[in-house]
Amino acid sequence: MSNTMIPWLCLLPVEILHHIFDCLDASTILFSLRCTCRRLKTIVDSYDRYVLDFRSISKSDFQLLCCLINPRKVKSLILFPKDETSDQLELFMTYFRIQEFTRLRSLTLIEIEERQLKVLLKRFCIPSLTSFSFKLGKYDDRRTNTTATLLSSIISQANLHHLNLELRSTRIEKMIWPAQCLIKYLKIGSCDEFSQIFTILRCSPHLQTFVIKFSSYVDDTIISLDSFRTSFQQLTSLTLENLRANVNNLELLLSSMTSLTYLKLIGLGHFLNGNRWEQFIQTNLPCLKKFELFVQEWKDVDYTSVDIEAIIELFRTSFWIEHKKWFFTCETIELWPRVIKLYSIPLCISTLTYEPESNKISSSTFYSIINNDMSIMDNIDTIDFKFSKFTLDDIQQQQQSLHGPLFRRITNLELDYYVQPIPNWASFISILVDLTTVTQIKLTGIRIFQAHPNIITDLSTLLQQACSLTSLDICCNYDSRRSKLTAQDIYSMTPSHVKHLAASIKNLNEVKICLTKLQHLLTARFFYRSSSFSNVVVEWLEQEKAGSSYFVGAVFTKVWLVQSNNQFKLVRIGNKRIKLTVDH
């Protein structure tokens, strides 16, 4: 028997290995597994279900991946030419003839400039797509009609079932919907007319899930009387976000969707009447199984605890508690007593500004809220802490009542230091939030901007606990001319697992020090007071970060970095020297 140990992975059948590959990113498959042994190389070369996700990648890995991948074996593609990687799209098109992506089923374009859209969509094999997601970055009003025409062509494709459009309503309203659109899932990021919803529904007999985010102004009038008599039985799930509408018109809209099993409403208006909701749901939405609500209402006088109890009492009937088992909380904040919130439990919103319990006047039909039931916050992925609202008593009270993190699924954490934080604030955050799930952190406030040493020390400790953190923003929304943050401040706060950094920094010379120290970064963006040393930094980048894409301006610098260990990766895996070949 040979003394050589064969890795168990190499013994698995090809079909099982391909299923394992389905759970891995393309870089891991091509850079690591492909170089392990000859059998795995052969199996990798036969794999044809790659997902290319370019949202977080170094420039060197991007180029290497483009060299290794066969476009005919890609089923999903995500392009994200954000500010630091603005040349990603141009580079991508130099490596590929886009027509070669013949098996592409899902295409996601994020922050694409409107001028680039026509070139891209004319080249991709659009008829093969089953899913298309698009977020427009830089607009060009001269191309409004062109964009609408291109998108109209896409939605008429027979295989397209999933569509996500995040762009201004001026583009969406000019689209021409085919009479028999086959889309089953539709999300639009900007809508300003109820009539547009009816138009889409009339043309979409297969639409099952509809997610709508309204513009700041909503025309909720329903002009055609025929709309009242139309029933859209195909629709089973509806989400309305940023809703500002007359409750009568909202009821007219919803009464045409009698097959709904799921309804989510997030907005501002007169939607607090539990008795009215009960009667409407019983009469018009008999199939509704899940109702999620987060609404706010303003009035000219302060709300009191009596007002809160009067509102929540209408949600304590047997219909809500026993039959539907839907629970609600009503609250107001002492600092803003003219605004009242009514929301279902668990919270259905994804973004929350945290308020200490001592600032609230609230009442709930959900008894477990008193015991800090953790599940009520599981839909929250972004949370903002403003330390100006906290007292030491708030922290001590919360620490005593919690038996585990209240926020268990946070990915985006925002910390605002407009005042000096109270003692033990860092431990309070680590108790309240499960930091292991956080991938993005944004720091703002004058105390950080002025490089307050105690805060920087505490932050360095806190950020190290966020083991999944990939993106860090340090005071980028401030006037960069006032920043006192040095390179040492920045790199002392930045953990080694952070890949994307944006920061306001004292001056341009400090940028070189940061980039020298933070070798693990994939992208970086720095803001500083106006400088005349840009030529010096350009020369340094050309010499020390050769191959990187960059822009050095008078007040900011952005870099898409080539990692220094990339050449090593090309030729050495473990103790073996291996040549990575391109098999197009």
Provide mean pLDDT across the span 404-427. 86
pLDDT in tens, 133-173: 999 988 999 999 999 999 999 999 999 999 999 999 889 99
pLDDT of 222 reads 62
Which residues are 344's β-sheet partners? 328
Q: What percent of the chain has pLDDT over 90?
A: 60
pLDDT category at 223 given cuts 50, 70, 90 is low
pLDDT in tens, 507-565: 888 899 999 999 999 999 999 887 766 788 899 999 999 999 999 988 889 999 987 65
- Top mean pLDDT of 80-89, 288-297, 444-453 is at 288-297
Q: Is residue 419 pLDDT above 70, yes or no? A: yes
pLDDT of 479 reads 62
pLDDT category at 577 given cuts 50, 70, 90 is very low
Question: Roughly what angle, to the nearest 10 degrees, separates helices 88-95 and 59-68?
Answer: 20
pLDDT of 252 reads 92
Provide mean pLDDT across the span 324-346. 91
Provide mean pLDDT across the span 197-224. 86
Q: Is residue 5 pLDDT above 50, yes or no? A: no
pLDDT category at 326 given cuts 50, 70, 90 is very high
Q: What percent of the chain has pLDDT over 70?
A: 90
Q: Is residue 369 pLDDT above 50, yes or no? A: no
Residue 268's nearest CA partner among 242, 302, 238, 239 is: 242
Residue 407's nearest CA partner among 436, 440, 443, 442 is: 436
Residue partners of 64: CB distance under 8 A and separation at least 6: 31, 566, 569, 570, 580
Q: Which two tokens stand for residue 81?
A: 């030419």
Q: Is residue 390 pLDDT above 80, yes or no? A: no
Q: Is residue 434 pLDDT above 90, yes or no? A: yes
Residue 212's nearest CA partner among 223, 201, 202, 224 is: 201
What is the residue whose two structure tokens read 């689209």? 175
Rounded Cα gap, residues 155 and 160, in angstroms = 7
Mean pLDDT score of the chain: 87
Strand, helix or coil for residue 156: coil
Which residues are 74's β-sheet partners? 50
Task: Identify whether the C-beta of residue 537 lies closer than 8 Å to the C-beta of residue 565.
Answer: no
Strand stretches in 113-183, DSSP E: 131-136, 162-166
Residue 561's nearest CA partner among 500, 507, 510 is: 500
Provide mean pLDDT across the span 328-338. 86
Work out the angle at residue 79's Cα, subtended by the Cα atoms of residues 495 and 87, and round it to the nearest 5 degrees.
80
pLDDT in tens, 255-313: 999 999 999 999 999 999 999 999 999 999 999 999 999 999 988 888 889 999 999 99
Rounded Cα gap, residues 457 and 492, in angstroms = 8
pLDDT of 565 reads 55
C-alpha torsion angle, residues 65, 470, 550, 85 (rounded to 10): 60
Provide mean pLDDT across the span 331-358. 89
pLDDT of 581 reads 40
Half-sphere exposure of 158 (CA within 13 A, CB side): 0
Which residues are 560's β-sheet partners? 523, 549
Q: Is residue 452 pLDDT above 90, yes or no? A: no
pLDDT category at 418 given cuts 50, 70, 90 is confident
pLDDT category at 355 given cuts 50, 70, 90 is confident
Identity of the residue numbered 226: D
Half-sphere exposure of 458 (CA within 13 A, CB side): 21
Provide mean pLDDT across the span 374-403. 80
Longest dimension (CA), the chain: 87
pLDDT of 152 reads 93
Residue partners of 365: CB distance under 8 A and separation at least 6: 312, 315, 316, 320, 321, 327, 328, 329
Rounded Cα gap, residues 25 and 78, in angstroms = 12
Q: Is residue 1 pLDDT above 60, yes or no? A: no
pLDDT in tens, 477-497: 656 667 889 999 999 999 999
Residue 243's nearest CA partner among 225, 220, 259, 227 is: 220
Provide mean pLDDT across the span 316-330. 96
Going by the DSSP 8-state scheme, the letter that residue 324 receives in this structure is I
pLDDT of 311 reads 96
Radius of gyration of the chain, Cα coordinates, nearest whole angstrom: 27
Residue 528's nearest CA partner among 580, 484, 495 is: 484
Q: Is residue 2 pLDDT above 50, yes or no? A: no
- Mean pLDDT check: name the lowest of 45-49, 231-235, 328-332, 352-356: 352-356
Question: Roughly what angle, to the nearest 10 degrees, separates helices 14-21 and 38-46?
Answer: 70
Q: How far is CA 511 from CA 451, 498, 518, 555, in A?
A: 16, 17, 10, 12
Question: Roughly what angle, to the nearest 10 degrees, separates helices 508-517 and 534-544?
Answer: 20
Task: Identify whether the C-beta of residue 492 lies closer than 8 Å to the C-beta of residue 445.
Answer: no
pLDDT of 224 reads 56
Task: Identify whether the C-beta of residue 540 lies closer than 8 Å to the C-beta of residue 569.
Answer: no
Q: Is residue 574 pLDDT above 50, yes or no? A: no
pLDDT of 579 reads 41
Residue partners of 115: CB distance under 8 A and separation at least 6: 138, 140, 143
pLDDT of 459 reads 92
pLDDT of 403 reads 72
